[in-house]
Structures are given as structure tokens and as C-alpha cells.
Copies of this chain bind each other. A is one copy, B any other.
Amino acid sequence: MNQIYLSGVIKMHEDMKLLQGVPLFKYIKDTEFGALFACVGAKKECYEKGDFIFFNGNVTSSIGIVISGRVQVIKEDVYGNCAIFNDLGPKSVFGESFVCGGSFTLTVSVQAVEDSEVLFLPFERIMHICPSACGFHNTLLKNMVEMIARKNIKLVEKLEVTTKHSLREKMMTYLSQLAQEQCSPTVTSPLGRVDLAAFLGADRSALTRELNRMREAGLIVFDKNTYTLMNISFS
């Protein structure tokens, strides 16, 4: 079931509050939201768990904003192996690299891993058409720069994990990053074993095995998806 935000007659209701928390809309005033959506238009769509929101090879000129649920940016290769590049919850934005980079053909897929609602914003119009006259135009651009830049740093962090030579190092690097983010040696990963393996670029059973070895070696303790690093201190 789709819900169209008609130009000029924006119905955002409960979504409004959530959108205000999206970094992309920082400093955009309530009153400007109306003009914004009138300017570019927006469309909300619902997806069921497992649905593909974007598919590798698709063309898009809209960015997606997760309203509720959870989506993953993935890529399947010819052998059916699936790599997870990103795992996104509410208020996250996806697809912006392709729209803003001017290459509208997606090289990845985006899949709902829970029932999800997604708001689509034809951002191409902001990047390439909309006259700078709109008051919020410049603010949006600035926010977009900051957002993509942060995502960039995240991608480099992930690269740091996947370029490690051993599964143990990958896991330790991943956990260290989580520990820094969560400011605690005990961290909870949003990913289960299957997804974690796909995220690290490793075999699931090999991962389980290595986790046990790391526990035996006294490096970590863990239960389900909660891990505690034993070798670092937070003073």
C-alpha cells in the first residue's frame, strides 16, 4: 500500500517527528518541510520482510529514508554468496551515493530484513535541478555532505575489518569498533551469526569455531550477540 505526499498537501502526521531526527534534515524548520516536499515530492512505500527495495542494476533518482523496520545493503555474487555492506535502522538514508554521484545505476541491492516503511525523496531534483533559491536547498546540501562523509568514514572502518588477514583479527577489529561506539568493553551486535559472517566476509561455521577458540584463549566472552572484550580497559 502506497501513500503519496501530494505537492502542497503534505500529510506527514506521525512521520513528521521521525523525519526531524534524520541528520539529512538538520536545521530544516518545521515550516520548511512543507515547501521541501512540495518542491521535490515524496512517496512512502511499505515492504515485507525479504522484499527487495532496490535491486542491483536498477536505476533510481530517489534516495530512501527508513521510517520503520530494518534494511540491508547487500550484494550477491554469481555463486549465491551474499555480502552485507550495511545494516540500516530507522532514520537511515540509503541510495544517496548513486543519486548524488550522478551514476543512477545501482551496483548493490537493498533488502528489507524486517517489515519496513521507506520514504523516497527524488533527490536528483535537489542536486541537479532545483534552483538554489529555495531557502533549505543549501542547508540540505550541507547536511548531505556531512552525511555522506560520515558514511564514508564508516565504510573505511568496515574496510579495516575486512582487510584483516585472519578471522580472529577481523572479529577483534569489529568488536573494538563497536566498543568505541558504545563506550563499553561489553557490546551488542545488531547482527546474528549468519549476518555477522556475511558482514565479515567469512564462513558462518568457521566464525562460530573461531569465536569458541577466542573464548578459550581468554580474548572474549560472549552470549548470543553480546560480546565482552577482555583485553581492553576503559579508564
- Chain A residues in contact with chain B, CB under 8 A? 75, 77, 81, 83, 85, 96-103, 107-108, 127, 132, 138, 141-142, 144-146, 148-153, 155-160, 162-165, 169, 173, 200-203
Contacts and interface: CB of A to CB of B under 8 A. Distances in A.
A107 B203 CA distance: 28
A158 B159 contact: yes
Contacts of A77: 164, 169, 173
A163 B201 contact: yes
Number of copies: 2
23 contacts: A81-B165, A83-B159, A85-B159, A97-B156, A99-B149, A101-B152, A101-B153, A102-B146, A107-B156, A108-B156, A127-B145, A138-B141, A141-B141, A141-B142, A148-B152, A158-B159, A159-B159, A162-B162, A162-B163, A164-B201, A165-B201, A165-B202, A165-B203
A132 B133 CA distance: 12
Given A201-B164, A201-B165, A202-B165, A155 B149 contact: no
Contacts of A132: 138
A97 B153 contact: yes
Which interface residue of A77, A96, A103 has the most chain B CB atoms within 10 A? A77
Main secondary structure of the interface of A (DSSP, over half): helix
Contacts of A164: 77, 81, 83, 201
Contacts of A159: 83, 85, 155, 158-159, 162
Q: Which of A85, A144, A156, A203 has the most CB of B within 10 A?
A: A156
Contact of A97 (B85, B97, B152): B152
